[in-house]
Structure 1
Amino acid sequence: MKEVFDKILAQVNEEIDKIDLYDFDIIETSLSMVLRLQSVLTDLRNQLQTYVFSSKEEEIFFFKNQKPELLGRLLYFYKIYRIETQCPTGSNEVIRLYINKELDSLTYFFNRNLDFYQYYRSHSTIHDEHYFLRGRTDIRLCTDSAQFDKDPNFSTGYDYKVAKILANEMLRIYLNKRLQKLECDSYIEDKQTVTTKIPIRFTGKKNALIELGYALVSSGDINHGNIEIKEFMKYLSSIFNIDLGGYYDAYIAMKERKDQTAYLNLLAEKLSKRMREDDNKR
């Protein structure tokens, strides 16, 4: 089962890696991934009908670690779909309040499930037979249920909780980046309002700006390092009204040339020269 699951998860992750989560078609994309992951879980459920776990440890590992990886991704994309379809129209401030409310709901889930969250995150195993073996669920305990996961032969109740934890952690990152993008868009709008009278353009070579962009992202000084190069290149393109498409090819060429940081070295020289000239004027 481990080999089968690893292959399935690798295929799913490859598909997810190709997704731009902050593109305009995220609603259609997230819905497509929900349907895709539902199909994957259904196939896995069918395989499990005839599969016999070799030991309690294997069954626990499946419901504690493997199945939640897929179910967590399903819940993650479903939440994105729900959040984006219900996102209000209006000012950036209205949208910002809406996203912060969704972040608050993640905090509520964390607080409501603190004991189990600590158990899972501390890698405890003492209650694993109760949490992650089928047929051991005590109905007097409050365990979550979901429309995706009703089959008792394919669920222990707590594997869903683990999936929710994984989904919420991914969703927290998504929502925080969504806020950052919103702030970035607001900044761009403000800058565009100013630059309608005084346009600011990057008049150097495109590859020079790409080199600068990679350097800034690599420094970790943009959003505390919580930004992808693709996002930052889009931002620079918007700010300077320049097409930075093909930035990765430019980066590869940069790595292969003799002076890999030619533009950054030139900037350092120019700045040092300006400082020396300023000193000479005194």
Structure 2
Amino acid sequence: MLNDFDKILADLDVEIDEIDLYGYGIIETSLSMVHRLQTVLNDLREKIQTYVFPSKEDEILFFKTQKPEILARLLFFYKIYRIEAQCPNGSNEVVRSYINRELDNLTYFFNRNLDFYQYYRSGSTVYDEYYFVRGKADLRLCTDSAQFDKDPNFSTGYDYKVAKIIANEMLRIYLNKRLQKLVNDNQIEDNLQRCLKYPLRFTGKKVFLIELGYSLVSSGDINNGNVEIKEMMNFLSTIFNIDLGDYYASYIAMKERKDRTAYLHCLIENLIKRMNEDDMK
């Protein structure tokens, strides 16, 4: 069971590491991860129904450390889904206030569960037998009342609270980075306005910029691949204050050339040359 769990968690984390938490599709992505993690958790639930832990220590390990890690990721993505789906449309200030309220809710949770939070984070094991062994919950320890609704074969009364602590710590990091992204987006918008007011000019041949535009669209790295050639050409025309004309005709001519990507090769050569010169300084 231990080896199986480690592999399950490692595979999940590989999937999670590939997710852009601050991308355009985070609502759909987070909901998809909720369904994915629910399936994993349900599979674990089925295995636990007939599994006999070799020792009390193994059972404590599972409910104190292992199960909460997966449950925490489920709670984390579900909370992201709720937060982003309910995020108000408005100014950055409105969004900032909304995120700060969510951060205040996290602070309230930690303050409300301070005793158990300190017990868990300190690495104490004094009450582990009551907290993390099934059927051992002592109500005098103020266990979470939610335990009455839990599957007694798959919950101890405190594994959920541990998962909540882990999830909320992950969520606090997420929300703080979300606030920083608002600041960065403001700076980008300000820079864009300055560029439009005092534009940079592309002084190379138009076909070079068209080649670059087609390359960016083809890469799939702009708006997660959701951008049309026309949108890209309009953007490049605006930002560089240049009329690209019949860019499709230029593209057709580009395909007829002996070196179809001459400008991209030139860019590579110039960048390598610059790097080499920097290395010699």
Q: TM-score, normalised by structure 1?
A: 0.70
Are 1:11 and 2:43 matched, yes or no? no
Counterpart Cα distance in 1 of 2:277 and 2:41: 50
Q: Paired residue for 1:51?
A: 51
Distance 1:118 1:264, change over 3 A: farther
Q: Paired residue for 2:111?
A: 111
How far off is 1:37 after superposition?
A: 0.4
Are 1:157 and 2:161 matched, yes or no? no
Amino acid at match of 1:185: D
Q: Paired residue for 1:96?
A: 96
Counterpart Cα distance in 1 of 2:197 and 2:173: 37
Amino acid at match of 1:126: V
Q: Paired residue for 1:34?
A: 34
> 1:27–1:81: 8 Å Cα contact kept in structure 2?
yes
Matched residue SS, 1:90: coil
Q: Whose Rg is larger?
A: 2
> 2:137–2:143: 8 Å Cα contact kept in structure 1?
no
Amino acid at match of 1:165: I
Counterpart Cα distance in 2 of 1:264 and 1:129: 62
Amino acid at match of 1:60: I
> 1:144–1:160: 8 Å Cα contact kept in structure 2?
no
Distance 1:260 1:105, change over 3 A: farther
Distance 1:108 1:51, change over 3 A: same
Distance 1:75 1:201, change over 3 A: farther
> 2:103–2:172: 8 Å Cα contact kept in structure 1?
yes
Distance 1:55 1:91, change over 3 A: same
Instruction: Let me know the Cα RMSD of the aligned residues.
Output: 2.8
Deviations 1:77-110 (A, max 9, x none): 0000000011000000000000011011111111
How far off is 1:195 after superposition?
A: 1.8
Kindly report which structure 2 residues correspond to 1:154-193, keeping only aligned pairs within 5 A, or say none: 154-193=154-193
Kindly report which structure 2 residues correspond to 1:71-82, keeping only aligned pairs within 5 A, or say none: 71-82=71-82
Counterpart Cα distance in 2 of 1:43 and 1:263: 57
Kindly report which structure 2 residues correspond to 1:244-259, keeping only aligned pairs within 5 A, or say none: none
Counterpart Cα distance in 1 of 2:88 and 2:49: 43
Distance 1:192 1:78, change over 3 A: same
Counterpart Cα distance in 2 of 1:90 and 1:32: 26
Counterpart Cα distance in 2 of 1:189 and 1:86: 24
How far off is 1:190 after superposition?
A: 1.5
Amino acid at match of 1:16: I
Distance 1:263 1:101, change over 3 A: farther
How far off is 1:188 after superposition?
A: 1.1
How far off is 1:138 after superposition?
A: 3.1
4+ residue runs over 2 A deviation: 138-142, 199-203, 259-266
Kindly report which structure 2 residues correspond to 1:188-199, keeping only aligned pairs within 5 A, or say none: 188-199=188-199
Matched residue SS, 1:19: coil
Amino acid at match of 2:121: R
Distance 1:62 1:185, change over 3 A: same
> 1:34–1:77: 8 Å Cα contact kept in structure 2?
yes
> 1:76–1:170: 8 Å Cα contact kept in structure 2?
yes
> 1:144–1:161: 8 Å Cα contact kept in structure 2?
no
Amino acid at match of 2:28: E
Distance 1:2 1:193, change over 3 A: same
How far off is 1:265 after superposition?
A: 6.0
How far off is 1:150 after superposition?
A: 2.4
Q: TM-score, normalised by structure 2?
A: 0.71
Matched residue SS, 2:76: helix
Distance 1:144 1:176, change over 3 A: farther
> 2:134–2:155: 8 Å Cα contact kept in structure 1?
yes
Distance 1:58 1:199, change over 3 A: same
Q: Structure 2: which 5+ runs fail to align? A: 204-220, 222-234, 241-267
Q: Structure 1: which 5+ runs fail to align? A: 204-229, 231-237, 243-252, 270-282
Counterpart Cα distance in 2 of 1:260 and 1:143: 62
Amino acid at match of 2:146: S
Are 1:145 and 2:146 matched, yes or no? yes
Distance 1:201 1:24, change over 3 A: farther
Counterpart Cα distance in 2 of 1:70 and 1:201: 52
Counterpart Cα distance in 1 of 2:139 and 2:121: 24
